[in-house]
Amino acid sequence: MELLTVCIMAVTLALDALAVAVTNGMACAGFRPRHAVWMGVYFGAFQFFMPLIGYLLGSQLLRYIESVDHWLAMLLLGFIGGRMVYNALRRQGEEEGSMKALTHPQFLLQALATSVDALAVGVTLPLLKTPVLLSAAIIGCVAFGFSLLGGLLGRRLGALFRRRAEMIGGIVLVLLGIRIVWEHTL
């Protein structure tokens, strides 16, 4: 039963990464399967390591981090999304309305923003009576899979929405950041 709980937690934690991956796939001109793989690697690695860090930090330091984790996620996603909206509006008259390229620093920021919650989960992992390393591996693998599939799905959706993809993607990221703060403050 504890393993099922870890799997459900992994899916829940991976949903933010899925949304960002779909957004990236939609908004990036020239999005390739290798981009989806890189997103999977970054998002999966962060989702794997953050629970381990949370476990090691324990509840003493975590209460300080928990008080700002949602604000950090919102700022990062808001910045990335806001920049996408700004660039889309700036290029509105041009033929191609999508982001030019995805970079490793963008993946890094997005992976950090979507995995902050996994840090808090790390403190609770010993309560599940499942090996912490196994739990973190499940969480990381689910995030990898969701991100990979989300990027490929977003690529298909981007072909449908073309010019508006970057604008839609930016708005989704900003709303995702707001949702994270909403959930943590209410």
Which residue segment(s) compose the domain that 8 sits in? 2-185
Domain tally for the chain?
Answer: 1
Taking each helix axis from N to C end, the angle separating 104-124 and 132-161, rounded to the nearest 10 degrees, works out to 140
**pLDDT on residue 185:** 78
Q: Report the distance separating Cα 99 and Cα 167, nearest Å.
A: 10
**pLDDT on residue 97:** 47
Q: Report the distance separating Cα 86 and Cα 92, nearest Å.
A: 10
Q: Kindly state the helix (H) or strand (E) to which residue 163 belongs, with its residue range.
A: none
Phi and psi angles of residue 74, each rounded to the nearest 5 degrees, phi first = -65, -45
**pLDDT on residue 133:** 93
Taking only the tens of pLDDT, the chain with its 186 residues reads 588 888 988 998 898 899 889 989 988 878 899 999 999 999 999 999 999 998 888 766 666 767 777 787 788 778 877 877 887 777 665 544 456 678 899 899 999 988 888 887 887 777 777 889 999 999 999 999 999 999 999 988 877 776 676 677 778 878 887 887 888 777
